[in-house]
C-alpha cells in the first residue's frame, strides 16, 4: 500500500518533468497553468535553435536527477522514523500486556508465624488479659546499642563483658544443636550451669515437649504429660512438620495435658504450636492465670503464645475446636544473664535436619534471636564408614548458612567430635579401633567453621587425642561403649569448653584438666 508521502513524491516528479520540458521547448518560464489558458499570448515567441534545445534539455535532466535524489533521501528518512515509531509502539504494547497478566496472577499465601502475649494484672482481682499478636519472624526488639568485636567470637565476648559491667539489660541466649550429647542435656547441662554461675541465670528458655522421646532431657525443669498425646520425631518420621526441636506432640482431647515445673521459676512462659486449618485452640495456665489461644489460621505455619505471669509451673492442654500440636515450650526471666537452649536427637546426624520445615525453623530461630549458635553434630557421622565427606560438608555448610541468615546477631561455634572407639576394625587403641571417618569429619567441621567465620573447638584433643576416651574410661569419665561419657566426664568436658569459650582469644582446644 502506498503512503501519502510516496504519492506526493511521484506527483512532484511528474509535474517537474513536464514544467522543465515545456520551458526548454518554448524558451519561457511562464507558469504551467498559463500555457493551457483560454487566452493566447499577445507577444511573439521566438523559435529556439536545435543547439539551444539540446543544452536546455541537458540542464533539465541534471536538475531532475538532483531533485529526484533529494526527494528519495527525504522519503527514506521519513520511512525510518515511521518504522522506529512502529517498533516502539509494539514493544510498549508487549510490556503493557505482560504487566496486566502479572496483576491478574494471585500470589500464594506464605505461612507465617505469630506470637500472642497475655499479661497478668499485678494487683486486684485477676483479669483475663487481652490477646495481642506480633510476628515471630522478627527478632526480639532491643533498645541496647549494637555490640561488635573482633574475631569469630568478638560480638559474643563483648556481650559477656557488657553483662559483667552491668551495661546489658537483656539475657544472652545460646542455642546448642546436635546429637545424643545434646539431646540428653548431658554435655550442654554442664556448660549452662557454669555460664549461669558466672554471668547470671536468665531462665531455662525453650525446651522440647514433654514425653517427646526416650532419653530426651531438659535440665532445671521437670516435664510430664498425661492423656492421649501422639509424639513424632524427625529421627523416625519424615512427615513432621518439625521446627528446630525436631519433634512434635499432637492431641485433640481437652483431657490431655503436659506440665513443666521449673526449679528456679520464671517471669513468663511460652508455647510454640503449629498453626493452620487443622489446628484448634490451646490453653495455657500459670498458677491462677489461665488463657485460651487460637492456633487456627488459613495457612500453615507456627504461632508462639505467651503469658507474662510469674510462677514455677506451666500447664498446656488442647482447648477444643481441633487438634493441638506442640513444637516447643519454656520460660524465662526478665533480667540479664545467660539462657542456654539445647535441642538434639539420639543417634542424629546433621542430615536429620533435612526433615525440618525450613519455614518453621526460621520462625523458631528468629524468635529465639540467639547470640551464639553451637554446632554439635559429628559423632554419628564419624561412625559411618561409607560417609561421603564432600556431601556431608556441603550440606552441613548450607544448613548453617540458613541458621546464620535467620540469626544475624549470632556468632558461631563448631565442635569437633569427641574421642570415640569401637571393637570393629584395626585395633590401634588397646583392644579398640578408631572409626576411620572420625578424623575426616572433624577436618570437615573445622573447614565449615572457617567458611562461616566461626570458632572451632576440638573435643577429641581436649580428651587427649584419638585414644583419649580409653584413658577416660579407665578413670570412670567415659562409659563402656567408648562413645558416651559419664556425668563426671561430661562435666569435665563442659568446664574445658567454657574455659575455651570465654577466653579472650581461642586456640582450637582447651585441655580438660579439671
| Tens-digit pLDDT string for the chain (514 aa) | 455 445 454 555 555 555 544 454 444 444 444 444 444 444 444 455 656 666 666 676 667 677 666 666 666 666 665 556 556 666 655 665 555 555 444 444 444 455 555 443 333 343 344 444 434 434 443 434 445 556 899 999 999 999 999 999 999 999 999 999 999 999 999 999 999 999 999 999 999 999 999 888 999 999 999 999 999 999 999 888 999 999 999 999 999 999 999 999 999 999 999 999 999 999 999 999 999 999 999 999 999 999 999 999 999 999 988 999 999 999 999 999 999 999 999 999 999 999 999 999 999 999 999 999 999 999 999 999 999 999 999 999 999 999 999 999 999 999 999 999 999 999 999 999 999 999 999 999 999 999 999 999 999 999 999 999 999 999 999 999 999 999 999 999 999 999 999 998 766 656 565 4
Phi, psi of 18, rounded to the nearest 5 degrees: -65, -45
CA angle 364, 367, 372 (to 5 degrees): 85
pLDDT at residue 135, as a whole number: 41
pLDDT at residue 196, as a whole number: 98
- For 43-140, where are the alpha helices, taking DSSP H only? 50-104
Reported pTM: 0.73
Residue-wise DSSP of 219-247? TTEEEEEES--EEEETTT-SS----TTSE
Closest listed residue to residue 182, CA positions, set 211, 151, 208? 208
Domain boundaries, the chain: 1-29+51-82, 111-141+220-332, 148-202+335-514
111-141+220-332, CATH topology level: Jelly Rolls (2.60.120)
- Compute CA distances 10 → 3, 22, 75, 79, whole Å: 11, 19, 11, 16
**Which class is domain 148-202+335-514?**
alpha beta
Amino acid at each position: 500500500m502506498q503512503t501519502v508521502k510516496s504519492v506526493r513524491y511521484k506527483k512532484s516528479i511528474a509535474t517537474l518533468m513536464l514544467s522543465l520540458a515545456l520551458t526548454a521547448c518554448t524558451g519561457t518560464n511562464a507558469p504551467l497553468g498559463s500555457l493551457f489558458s483560454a487566452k493566447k499570448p499577445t507577444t511573439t515567441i521566438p523559435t529556439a535553435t536545435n543547439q539551444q534545445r539540446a543544452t536546455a534539455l541537458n540542464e533539465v535532466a541534471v536538475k531532475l536527477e538532483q531533485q529526484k535524489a533529494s526527494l528519495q533521501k527525504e522519503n527514506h528518512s521519513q520511512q525510518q522514523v515511521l518504522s522506529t515509531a512502529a517498533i516502539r509502539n509494539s514493544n510498549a504494547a508487549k510490556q503493557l500486556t505482560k504487566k496486566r497478566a502479572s496483576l491478574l496472577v494471585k500470589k500464594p499465601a506464605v505461612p507465617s508465624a505469630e506470637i500472642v502475649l497475655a499479661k497478668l494484672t499485678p494487683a486486684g482481682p485477676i483479669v483475663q488479659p487481652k490477646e495481642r499478636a506480633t510476628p515471630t519472624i522478627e527478632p526480639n526488639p532491643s533498645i541496647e546499642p549494637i555490640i561488635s568485636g573482633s574475631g569469630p567470637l568478638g560480638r559474643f565476648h563483648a556481650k559477656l563483658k557488657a553483662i559483667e559491667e552491668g551495661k546489658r539489660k537483656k539475657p544472652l541466649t545460646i542455642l546448642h544443636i546436635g546429637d545424643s550429647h545434646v539431646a540428653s542435656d548431658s554435655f550442654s547441662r554442664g556448660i549452662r550451669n557454669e555460664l549461669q554461675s558466672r554471668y547470671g541465670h536468665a531462665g531455662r528458655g525453650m525446651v522440647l515437649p514433654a514425653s517427646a522421646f526416650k532419653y530426651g532431657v531438659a535440665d532445671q525443669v521437670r516435664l510430664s504429660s498425661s492423656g492421649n498425646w501422639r509424639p513424632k520425631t524427625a529421627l523416625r518420621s519424615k512427615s513432621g512438620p518439625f521446627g528446630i526441636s525436631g519433634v512434635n506432640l499432637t492431641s485433640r482431647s481437652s483431657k490431655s495435658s503436659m506440665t513443666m515445673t521449673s526449679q528456679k521459676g520464671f517471669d513468663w512462659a511460652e508455647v510454640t504450636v503449629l498453626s493452620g486449618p487443622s489446628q484448634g485452640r490451646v490453653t495455657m495456665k500459670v498458677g491462677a492465670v489461665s488463657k485460651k489461644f487460637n492456633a487456627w489460621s488459613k495457612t500453615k505455619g507456627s504461632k508462639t503464645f505467651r503469658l507474662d505471669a510469674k510462677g514455677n509451673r506451666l500447664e498446656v492442654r488442647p482447648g477444643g475446636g481441633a487438634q493441638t500440636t506442640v513444637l516447643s515450650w519454656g520460660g524465662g526471666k526478665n533480667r540479664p544473664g545467660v539462657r542456654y537452649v539445647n535441642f538434639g536427637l539420639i543417634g542424629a546426624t546433621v542430615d536429620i535436619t533435612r526433615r525440618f520445615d525450613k519455614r518453621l525453623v526460621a520462625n523458631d530461630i528468629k524468635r529465639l534471636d540467639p547470640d551464639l549458635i553451637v554446632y554439635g553434630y559429628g559423632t554419628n557421622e564419624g561412625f559411618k564408614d561409607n560417609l561421603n565427606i564432600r556431601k556431608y560438608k556441603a550440606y552441613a555448610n548450607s544448613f548453617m548458612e540458613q541458621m546464620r541468615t535467620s540469626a544475624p546477631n549470632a556468632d558461631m561455634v563448631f565442635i569437633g567430635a569427641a574421642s570415640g572407639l569401637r571393637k570393629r576394625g584395626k585395633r590401634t587403641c588397646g583392644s579398640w579401633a578408631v572409626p576411620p571417618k572420625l578424623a575426616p569429619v572433624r577436618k570437615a567441621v573445622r573447614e565449615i567453621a572457617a567458611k562461616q567465620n566461626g570458632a572451632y573447638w576440638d573435643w577429641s584433643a581436649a580428651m587427649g587425642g584419638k585414644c583419649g576416651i580409653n584413658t577416660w574410661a579407665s578413670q570412670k569419665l567415659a562409659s563402656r561403649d567408648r562413645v558416651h561419657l559419664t556425668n563426671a566426664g561430661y562435666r569435665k568436658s563442659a568446664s574445658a569448653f567454657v574455659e575455651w569459650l570465654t577466653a579472650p582469644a581461642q586456640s582450637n582446644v582447651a585441655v580438660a584438666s579439671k
